[in-house]
Amino acid sequence: MGNPNVAAEGMTKEERKVIFASSLGTVFEWYDFYLYGTLAAVIGKKFFTALDPNSQMIFSLLAFAAGFIVRPFGALVFGRLGDMIGRKYTFLVTIVLMGGSTFIVGCLPGYEMIGIAAPILLIALRMMQGLALGGEYGGAATYVAEHSPANKRGFFTSWIQTTATLGLFLSLLVILGARTAVGEEQFADWGWRIPFWVSALLLIISVWIRMSMNESPAFAKMKSEGKVSKAPLTESFGKWSNLKIVILALVGLTAGQAVVWYTGQFYALFFLTNTLKVDNATANLMIAASLIIGTPFFVVFGALSDKIGRKPIIMAGCLIAALTYFPLFKALTEAANPALAAAQAANKIVVTADPSECSFQFNPTGTKKFTSSCDIAKQVLAANSASYETVEGQGPATIAIGTTVIQSYTSNGLEAADAKAKDAAFKKSVTDALRAAGYPAKADPAGVNKPKIILILSILVIYVTMVYGPIAAMLVEMFPTRIRYTSMSLPYHIGNGWFGGLLPATGVAIVAQTGNMYNGLWYPIIVAAVTFVIGMLFVKETKDVDIYAND
């Protein structure tokens, strides 16, 4: 049957224009959201100044994750509005909220000026961004799908799927432009604010675009017939017949899609810069190149899903990613920092410590100080990208690097000056031993194999396009028009906001705990594998579903 307002042979010129406008506005919204993720390390030094470098990184990643944590709440708030008052006006609210919050981040004073208020306000603004984004995606996907011919729904909605990657790409370009214009020193001082200020211009363009949009014909028809839901939350989640589909959409589709997405783009970037010590500008350029190569595959797999189905492509992406992440990231190490790979292969590092002294160093508040000899030893090794194993022992922890053994210390009870002196001496001893064993302070630019890295990163992006390209069409097809915005938004944003958004911070904590710099990958591998199994067993194909049948 299909949308009665869409011609069988395709979309009208006006409808293409409206969908382009919707996609472009979403690109800008993702740009705003990902600026923080790309600049997390720089921002951490400005807003979490009181913390040690390791805690700065973990705290800044968690501030990034805060925006993801509230996304499901944004899905509930704006999904309800979208199903009750319409797609167009909900779009306007989300873009203003996102753009305004981003611009204010660029104007926010740092810790040195306003103290603890700086990180509190930063996290509050991140949460505002998350609320806005929680209402954006479901509306965009629903809006485009309800304009699409039934036999090309995967193709047309796949253009919305490109917007997140294009938004990230745009943020990388603006950041690189600002770095080049003001120089690295000035960029670290104040120039990082420029990309946030640029969002004001994007906000003006986006509002103009959104004002020119027409309401979804499906929603307009439903409203004229008096069939609009008066309680979309109750209909979506208070009735088991729909709630079970929401749960399956989460665990059998979006959770796996989310971790593959964030591993392929954000975790890969964190791994390159923080673990492999590739300079930020080079890493961003290589990520940008891989996005250019990989982005067309969103549309390729979206169109392919119109022919062979959504489910086979998404499930294949989850399975292939889970099976190949370890070899791909090890190859990334050899290509980006061969000296580090060689040093790890040649030198076994062992931390001998009393297990009762070794903590799980996940510090969400940034207030806990790790003072035991085991924790201090692990912090220093992790900061130097040195993989190690831990064995049980007695007394203060020791680090064995080849034949060199260095004893750690406990800082608890020491005077501040003594603790600072011991910390500096210990770090120098460990760093000197690591350098002698061949561990580099940073990746040698001459040794960075850029073509190989771009190839590996492009493969990771293609995995992203497999799981993400067809998923908008599939989620839209799982729910009826009257509660579609609400029903599809919640599982999408729990999957992407919680399972995906927490991936960087979780990966960092797992690596610090286990001593293996690759072990952070276990998190996305396990989630993707669970989604593959549940999806294959319980999720039904939706390609031939009439999305208006239940209206």
Domain at 417, CATH number: 3.40.30
Q: What is the pLDDT of residue 474?
A: 94
Between 64-68, 161-165, 182-186, 513-517, the lowest mean confidence (pLDDT) is in: 64-68
Residue 304 lies in a domain: yes
- Write down the residue that tokens 């194993």 correspond to: 389
> Does 109 lie in the same domain as 212?
yes
Among residues 374, 406, 436, the one where a domain terminates is: 436
**How does the average pLDDT of the chain come out, rounded?**
84
Among residues 296, 278, 326, which one has the least CA distance to residue 528? 326
User: How crowded is the C-beta side of 282, counted as CA atoms within 13 Å?
Assistant: 20
Spell out the alpha helix ranges (H) of 183-295.
184-189, 194-211, 217-224, 232-237, 240-249, 255-262, 268-270, 280-294
> Does 210 lie in the same domain as 248?
yes
pTM value surpassing 0.95: no
| Residue 39: pLDDT band with limits 50, 70, 90 | confident
Q: Look at residue 3 and tell me whether its pLDDT is greater than 50.
A: no
| Residue 406: pLDDT band with limits 50, 70, 90 | very high
Residue 194 lies in a domain: yes
SS3 call for 84: helix
| Residue 151: pLDDT band with limits 50, 70, 90 | confident
Among residues 111, 340, 338, 75, which one has the least CA distance to residue 232? 75
β-pair type (398-401, 349-353)? antiparallel
The one-letter amino acid at 543 = K
Residue 477 lies in a domain: yes
Q: What is the pLDDT of residue 31?
A: 82
> Does 500 lie in the same domain as 353?
no
What are the CB-based long-range contacts (under 8 Å, 24+) for 280-288? 280/41, 280/179, 281/176, 281/179, 282/445, 282/448, 282/450, 284/38, 284/172, 284/175, 284/176, 285/176, 286/450, 286/453, 286/454, 286/457, 287/172, 287/457, 288/169, 288/172, 288/173, 288/176
DSSP bridge partners of 399: 351, 406
Residue 314 lies in a domain: yes
Secondary structure, 3-state, 2-71? CCCCCCCCCCCHHHHHHHHHHHHHHHHHHHHHHHHHHCHHHHHHHHCCCCCHHHHHHHHHHHHHHHHHCH
Residue 9 lies in a domain: no
The kind and range of the H/E element at 265 are none
> Does 258 lie in the same domain as 141?
yes
Spell out the alpha helix ranges (H) of 108-193.
111-114, 117-145, 153-182, 184-189
Q: What is the pLDDT of residues 303-342, one digit of tens each?
A: 999 999 999 999 999 999 999 999 999 999 999 999 998 8
Secondary structure, 3-state, 363-418? CCCCCCCCCCHHHHHHHHHHHCCCCCEEEECCCCCEEEECCEEEECCCCCCCCHHH
> Does 460 lie in the same domain as 427?
no
User: For residue 239, which phi and psi values (nearest 5 degrees)?
Assistant: -120, 125
Sort 445 into a burial class: Cβ within 10 Å, 0-12 / 13-18 / 19+.
exposed
Q: Look at residue 167 and tell me whether its pLDDT is greater than 50.
A: yes
| Residue 524: pLDDT band with limits 50, 70, 90 | very high
Q: Look at residue 18 and tell me whether its pLDDT is greater than 70.
A: no
The kind and range of the H/E element at 253 are none
Q: What is the sign, positive or negative, of the torsion defined by CA atoms of 65, 495, 486, 302?
A: positive
Among residues 387, 403, 436, the one where a domain terminates is: 436
Q: What is the pLDDT of residues 203-253, one digit of tens each?
A: 888 788 777 777 766 677 777 777 777 778 888 888 898 899 999 999 999
> Does 326 lie in the same domain as 286?
yes
Among residues 47, 53, 192, which one has the least CA distance to residue 126? 47
Among residues 436, 469, 487, the one where a domain terminates is: 436
Residue 550 lies in a domain: no
> Does 172 lie in the same domain as 67?
yes
Q: What is the pLDDT of residue 79?
A: 85
Of all residues in the chain, the percent with pLDDT exceeding 70 is 90
Helices 416-436 and 373-383: crossing angle in degrees, nearest 10, is: 50
User: For residue 51, which phi and psi values (nearest 5 degrees)?
Assistant: -100, 160
Task: Report the distance separating Cα 21 and Cα 206, nearest Å.
Answer: 8
More confident residue, 88 or 549: 88
| Residue 7: pLDDT band with limits 50, 70, 90 | very low
Q: Look at residue 10 and tell me whether its pLDDT is greater than 80.
A: no
> Does 244 lie in the same domain as 145?
yes
**Residue 81: both structure tokens together:** 């509005």
SS3 call for 469: coil
Residue 545 lies in a domain: no
Assess contact for 232 and 84: CB atoms under 8 A: yes
Q: What is the pLDDT of residue 387?
A: 85
> Does 37 lie in the same domain as 108?
yes
Task: Report the distance separating Cα 538 and Cα 247, nearest Å.
Answer: 11
Residue 350 lies in a domain: yes
SS3 call for 353: strand
> Does 294 lie in the same domain as 279?
yes
More confident residue, 136 or 409: 409
> What's the domain count of the chain?
2
The one-letter amino acid at 360 = F
User: Residue 414: which domain range?
Assistant: 343-436
**How many residues in total does the chain contain?**
551
| Residue 433: pLDDT band with limits 50, 70, 90 | very high
Q: What is the pLDDT of residue 338?
A: 92
Cα separations (Å) of 434 from 98, 340, 397, 404?
A: 45, 10, 17, 10
- Give DSSP secondary structure letters for 219-238: HHHHHHTT---S-HHHHHHS
Task: Report the distance separating Cα 49 and Cα 47, nearest Å.
Answer: 6
> Does 273 lie in the same domain as 195?
yes
Report DSSP state, residue 349: E
> Does 458 lie in the same domain as 431?
no
Q: What is the pLDDT of residue 333?
A: 94
Q: Look up the CATH number of the domain holding residue 47.
A: 1.20.1250.20
